[in-house]
Amino acid sequence: MNETDLHFFIDSTVNYFQEVTGEQAITGIPYLKGKEPVVLDYSGIIGISGKRKGCVYITTTSEMLRSLAHIILDDPKATVETVKDLTGEIANTISGNVREAYGSSFMISVPVVVEGKAKDIRLPEHVQAFVIPITWKEYRCYLVVCLE
């Protein structure tokens, strides 16, 4: 994975927040993931297959998701199910937008949503994973990209 690849994901994420909320998200400096998975309250995971293989996931807090639900869905008291659905939708939209840049050989799976500090998030061991910190309003989330 190179810098251009990371920029596809960064741009897709920033564009998502701008288009959906009308507010700019700010990305921090990407860094290599350590041994432990980076996870917050909810994580939306997308498997990647085809010419490129790996996965992408976004992990965020319930507070951020409830704020997004209030803006996007006009739902000030989003249920756990709504928050989970929104997590998957964010991951799917970001990955889908990146797919447009890579073409049809970049195949994405249906999102899997994991709640909590899941030990089940396993990334390919032979591929470096990059963590992209994202701040929207006062909330922080992370996009993790692991592609061959």
Look up the pTM and report it: 0.91
What's the rounded Cα separation, in Å, for the pair 22 and 3? 27
Which residues, 6 or more positions from 19, have their beta carbon under 8 angstroms from its beta carbon?
A: none
Q: Count CB neighbours of 6 within 10 A.
A: 17
3-state secondary structure of 66: helix
Number of domains in the chain: 1
What's the rounded Cα separation, in Å, for the pair 19 and 32? 28
Angle between helices 62-72 and 80-102 (to 10 degrees): 80
Provide the residue range defining the domain that includes 103: 3-147
What's the rounded Cα separation, in Å, for the pair 147 and 128? 8
pLDDT in 10s for each residue of the chain, 148 residues: 778 889 989 999 999 999 999 999 999 999 998 777 788 999 999 999 988 888 899 999 999 999 999 999 888 888 999 999 999 999 999 999 888 888 888 899 999 999 887 666 767 677 888 999 999 999 999 999 998 8
What's the rounded Cα separation, in Å, for the pair 131 and 122? 14
Q: How many Å separate Cα 27 from the centre of its chain?
A: 12
- Which CATH number is 117's domain given? 3.40.1550.10
